[in-house]
């Protein structure tokens, strides 16, 4: 009987948990799980383990949490696990070439985009923000460059008109595991690196890390662009804008009509269906919102607290 494929898994957020589960299958042995150090979270700022650490400990797997993999001591610990392969999913640390060279079959990365589009930190939100018609997951062999490696396998999904950053995140998380699992089995059985395709030179875009400042709505933008921002930044960092004299978080909104009924930022109608705000091109109807210190509510409930804003929707 052949020896199981020795895999070191590296990941941190909830997105990576299904891929960790996919590594725990016949013919594969997860010898260690690498994840980010515990971070302060919640109102009490209590040190909290990552979702991947919680899943690993629940499964009885060894956990390593180095601050960096750039020092010789950290690399020596990794090498001592004698990995055949390292699987990396939203880990959050840069892997230097000296780390990529440790596993016998190198390092694989599960990336939430259709490479070479949206290399980088926030591919899910950038796809929604840009109005992409489709997204997907690529399993690639890692190189020193940022998400530049050749692709082993990919899967594609269409984006719905109501797609949010959260809904796409959850779907791609599952799809990532579905792409990874059969590739691992193939490697475990064949004991040779699978074929892969170099990424095209054309079509490279970068998904820069999200910044909360990006979430502020500029009413001079088009209603379509603002709607995409609202959907892309749900559940984080959540779009927010000045409406009727106060800053509101906007959780759900849809572009309606062709505008021409007021200056950008003006409320042109408000009632049972929502709050209609003029933009630089078209009208945005706010359906769900949140006041500072309040909870997420339907727009009609907000209007019950501010009846002076009600205007007939024509």
Element (H, E) at 251: strand 246-256
Q: Is 115 annotated as a binding residue?
A: yes
Q: Is 116 annotated as a binding residue?
A: yes
Q: Is 114 annotated as a binding residue?
A: yes
Phi, psi values for residue 12, rounded to 5°: -135, -55
Q: Which bin fits 204, alpha (ψ -120 to 50), beta or left (φ > 0)? A: beta
Report long-range pairs for 200-206 (Cβ below 8 Å, ≥24 apart): 200/116, 202/116, 203/116, 203/117, 204/116, 204/117, 204/119, 205/116, 205/117, 205/118, 205/119, 205/126, 206/118, 206/119, 206/120, 206/146
Question: Which residues define the annotated binding site for (6S)-5,6,7,8-tetrahydrofolate?
Answer: 113-116
Question: Which residues define the annotated binding site?
Answer: 113-116
């Amino acid at each position: 009987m052949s020896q199981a494929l020795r895999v070191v898994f590296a990941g941190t957020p909830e997105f990576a948990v299904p891929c960790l589960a996919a590594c725990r299958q016949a013919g594969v042995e997860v010898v260690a799980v690498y994840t980010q150090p515990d971070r302060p979270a919640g109102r009490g700022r209590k040190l909290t383990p990552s979702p991947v650490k919680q899943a690993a400990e629940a499964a009885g797997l060894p956990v390593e949490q180095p601050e960096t993999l750039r020092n010789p001591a950290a690399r020596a610990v990794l090498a001592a696990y004698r990995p055949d392969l390292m699987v990396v999913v939203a880990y959050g640390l840069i892997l230097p070439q000296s780390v990529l060279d440790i596993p016998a079959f190198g390092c694989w990365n599960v990336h939430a985009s259709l490479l070479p589009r949206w290399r980088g930190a926030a591919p899910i939100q950038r796809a929604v923000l840009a109005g992409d018609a489709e997204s997907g997951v690529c399993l690639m062999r890692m190189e020193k460059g940022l998400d530049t490696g050749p692709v082993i396998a990919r899967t594609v999904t269409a984006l719905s008109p109501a797609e949010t950053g959260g809904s796409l995140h959850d779907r791609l998380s599952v799809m990532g595991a579905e792409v990874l699992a059969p590739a691992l089995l193939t490697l475990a059985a064949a004991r040779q690196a699978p074929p892969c395709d170099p990424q095209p030179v054309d079509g490279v875009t970068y998904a820069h890390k999200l910044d909360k400042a990006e979430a502020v709505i500029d009413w001079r933008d088009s209603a379509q662009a603002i709607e995409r921002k609202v959907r892309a930044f749900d559940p984080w960092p959540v779009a927010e804008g000045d409406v009727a004299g106060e800053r509101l978080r906007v959780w759900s909104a849809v572009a309606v009509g062709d505008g021409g009924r007021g200056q950008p930022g003006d409320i042109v109608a408000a009632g049972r269906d929502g709050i209609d705000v003029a933009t630089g091109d078209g009208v945005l109807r706010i359906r769900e919102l949140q006041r500072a210190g309040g909870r997420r509510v339907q727009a009609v409930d907000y209007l019950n607290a501010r009846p002076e804003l009600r205007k007939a929707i024509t």
